Chains A and B, each alone.
Chain A
Amino acid sequence: EDQVTQSPEALRLQEGESSSLNCSYTVSGLRGLFWYRQDPGKGPEFLFTLYSAGEEKEKERLKATLTKKESFLHITAPKPEDSATYLCAVRRMDSNYQLIWGAGTKLIIKP
């Protein structure tokens, strides 16, 4: 069964304390892996798409990496404004329009 699992469910960090969020997936062929950020009461905000193992993308303090089984979202020296729920989703090779979503990791950065 296709599945996307994010861990941990919640993560509390001090400002400046770097860490990583994990997204592991089991699908029959990966067509793309997507990361989004969601603030309370708002819609998801697109961050990155990764297509092949070894690919990396960066945006400000965020860096996403991809292997054949999982993706990591590395957060370097986070600030309180990085607090949000981070969502991961994957697209199967035989799908054009649909994504399989993880439940998210709630990240809290304390000042």
Chain B
Amino acid sequence: EAQVTQNPRYLITVTGKKLTVTCSQNMNHEYMSWYRQDPGLGLRQIYYSMNVEVTDKGDVPEGYKVSRKEKRNFPLILESPSPNQTSLYFCASSHMTSGRLTPTWEYFGPGTRLTVT
């Protein structure tokens, strides 16, 4: 079954304690991305990756890090979490849309609800 998995699904932590949210896809997709979703604000892209070792900033990258050492995995790292990073996080993956040279972002993970106190 084609899927994007995220772990953990729920996380409560304290300010400043480093954490990693894992994301894995089993579809051999080149593109992967991290989003955060906050009420009334819509989805906002944090980082995206076009392939192994190729990443770039999205709209709200401050306070986050990513790495793409393997094609299937794209972990999100919060080195020093703060309360304003409390949010619902989604990982997404995509192949390149045929003839368009762009990803469709058609597969999303189930989400990770992070609370930073």
Contacts and interface: CB of A to CB of B under 8 A. Distances in A.
Interface stretch (B13-21, B38-46, B64-72, B79-87): B38-46
A99 to B, nearest CB: 7
Contacts of A42: 110-111
Contacts of B4: 43
Interface residues of A, number: 23
Contact of A98 (B42, B59, B104): B59
Interface size class of B (residues with CB under 8 A): 20 to 34
Interface in A36-73: 41-46, 49, 51
B106 to A, nearest CB: 4
Contacts of A34: 104-105
A102 B42 CA distance: 6
Contacts, number: 58
B90 A99 contact: no
A104 B38 CA distance: 12
B45 A87 contact: no
A101 B37 CA distance: 10
B48 A103 contact: no
Interface stretch (A10-18, A74-82, A89-97): A89-97
Given A44-B108, A98-B59, A87 B103 contact: no
27 contacts: A4-B42, A31-B102, A32-B100, A32-B102, A34-B104, A41-B111, A42-B110, A42-B111, A43-B92, A43-B110, A43-B111, A44-B108, A46-B104, A46-B108, A87-B42, A89-B43, A91-B102, A96-B103, A97-B31, A97-B33, A97-B48, A97-B103, A98-B59, A99-B43, A99-B105, A103-B40, A103-B41
Interface of A: 4, 31-32, 34, 41-46, 49, 51, 87, 89, 91, 96-99, 101-104
Given A46-B104, A98-B48, 4 more contacts: A44-B90, A96-B103, A97-B50, A97-B56
